[in-house]
Structure 1
Amino acid sequence: MQIEIRNDSVIVKGYVNAVERDSRALPSPKGKFVEQVRSGVWNDAIKKSDNIAVLLNHDWNRKLGSTKDNLKLREDNIGLYAEARVYDSDVIEKAKNGKLVGWSFGFRANKQSWGKTDADMDRRYLDDIDLFEVSILDDSRTPAYYGTSVEARDNEEVEIEQRFVQDSIEIINTNEEKQQDTTENRDIDTDLELKLKLMRLELEL
C-alpha cells in the first residue's frame, strides 16, 4: 500500500488481492482452507457494478467515496488494484501517524469450486463474485483479520465475506517535498542576488 499525503487529502494506492494465488489459511466451521480468486473475476465484478464503495474498516457509516467519484479499480495481470483520493480528516490524520495498515474487501461469492493443496488442505476457488466495497483498514484491525457480516441487499439478507490484505506500507509526504523544493528555490534566488551584487560592484570599480 502506498500512501501519498497531500495538503487536503491522502491518495491511497495498492493491490487489494492477487489472482491465482493462495490466501493465508482462513477459518471455517469445517476447518481451515485457503482461497484463490480466478483471473478475470475482478474485472467481471467491476463491470457488474458502477457503484463500489470505499470504506474505513468495513463501516458503512464511514463511507469515504465510491467508483462514481474518487475510487478507481482495475484488474491487471497481478490482481485487483485500487486507488482512492480521500478527503476525510480522520483518515488523513491516521495516515500522518502511520495508523493505516492495508486494504480489505467485502464480497459475496456467487460461484465457487473446491480442490486440495499439496498439504491436503481445502482450497476454495472464487469463480464469480459481487464486490460491494473495498476498505482501508487502520491498526484497530489485526493482520489476521477475517470476518463476515449480514447486510440487506436487493430486499434480501446477504452474507458478506471480508478479507484483509497484508502489505508493506510506503508513505510519501508531498508537503515536505514541496517545502524542500521551496527552500531550494530560495537558496538559488539568494545565490543569484549575491552574483548580481558582485557584478554591480565590479562594474563600479
Structure 2
Amino acid sequence: MASKPDTETRCVVRAVEARAADDGRMTVAGYAAVFNEGADIGGWFVETIAPGAFSRSIAEEDVLAFFNHDRGRVLGRKSSGSLRLSEDSKGLAVEIDLPETSDGRDVKALVERGDITGMSFGFRVTKEEWDETGDIPKRTILEVDLIEVSPTSLPAYDGTSIAMRSLEAARADRRQKNFSAAQRRLRMKVNLDMKVRSKA
C-alpha cells in the first residue's frame, strides 16, 4: 500500500536482528535512520538527517510499525509498548515485538534467513535546511513528524517529488528575501539622496 501523498520514506540497509525473549516473545531490532550520513536521493540532491530529528516525535506521537510500509499489515505500536523507539549517537533505533500473526511469523523467518536486511521510516519534514552552494543541493532534515517504521526487503526513496517541492519553496523564499533586501537598499539610497538634496 502506498504512502500518503505528503509522506516520504527512506530506507537504511543495515543488519536487522531477531531476538528471542525468555517468554517466547520474538523481537526484531535495527536502525531505521542514521545521522550525519549523506544519501543520494535520486540524483537530485544529497540528504542528511541531523541528530535530534526524531526526538519530538518519539516523545509526543503514536508511531506504528508496518511490514513494508503496508498500513494493513501492522506489526507494532508505540502506545501499546510493542514498538520501542529511541535516538542514540548513531540514529533512530527500533525494536518491534512481533505479533503472533502470519505477518509476524513471516517477518521473523525473513529476518532470520537474511531476506530482510533493512528498516525504513515514513515521515513528514517539519524543519529543514537547504544548501545550494555546491554542485548538487544538500538537504539537512532537522525535525520530522515520524509516522511509521517498517522492516523492509527493498530500499525505498518515495517522496522525492515532495522534497523537490520543498527545495522549490526554499528557493522561492530566498528569492523573496533577496528581493526584499534589494528593495530596502533602494529605499535607503532614495532617502539618503533626498536628504543630501534637501541640504544642498
Give the structure 2 partner of residue 92 of structure 1.
Answer: 108
- Residue identity matched to 2:18: E
Q: Identify, as 1 or 2, the structure richer in helix.
A: 2
Give the structure 1 partner of residue 157 of structure 2.
Answer: 146
Deviation at 1:2, TM superposition (A): 3.7
Give the structure 2 partner of residue 136 of structure 1.
Answer: 151
Task: State the alpha-carbon separation in 2 of the partners of residues 93 and 20 from structure 1.
Answer: 32
Q: Name the SS for the 2:54 alignment partner.
A: helix
Task: State the alpha-carbon separation in 2 of the partners of residues 111 and 84 from structure 1.
Answer: 27
Distance 1:99 1:129, change over 3 A: same
Deviation at 1:61, TM superposition (A): 0.5
Q: Name the SS for the 1:147 alignment partner.
A: coil
Give the structure 1 partner of residue 35 of structure 2.
Answer: 19
Give the structure 1 partner of residue 18 of structure 2.
Answer: 4
Deviation at 1:41, TM superposition (A): 1.4
Q: Identify, as 1 or 2, the structure richer in strand.
A: 1
Gaps of 5+ in 1: 150-158, 161-205
Q: Note the 1:7-156 alignment, pairs <5 A.
A: 9-23=25-39, 25-27=40-42, 32-49=44-61, 51-68=62-79, 69-87=81-99, 88-116=104-132, 120-138=135-153, 141=154, 143=155, 145-148=156-159
Q: Deviations over 1:2-53 (max 9, x none)?
A: 4225495532112221222212x102xxx5111111221111221231x100
Distance 1:95 1:2, change over 3 A: closer
What is the TM-score of this pair, normalised by structure 1?
0.61
Deviation at 1:128, TM superposition (A): 2.0
Gaps of 5+ in 2: 1-14, 164-200
Contact 1:5–1:96 (Cα < 8 Å) also in 2? no
- Residue identity matched to 1:10: M
Deviation at 1:117, TM superposition (A): 7.5
Distance 1:5 1:81, change over 3 A: closer
Q: Name the SS for the 1:64 alignment partner.
A: strand
Question: Identity of paired residues, percent?
Answer: 30
Deviation at 1:135, TM superposition (A): 0.5
Q: Deviations over 1:80-125 (max 9, x none)?
A: 111112131222232343321210000001121101476x211101
Q: Name the SS for the 1:100 alignment partner.
A: coil
Greater relative contact order (Cα < 8 A, sep 6+): 2
Matched length: 141
More deviation, 127-136/77-86: 77-86
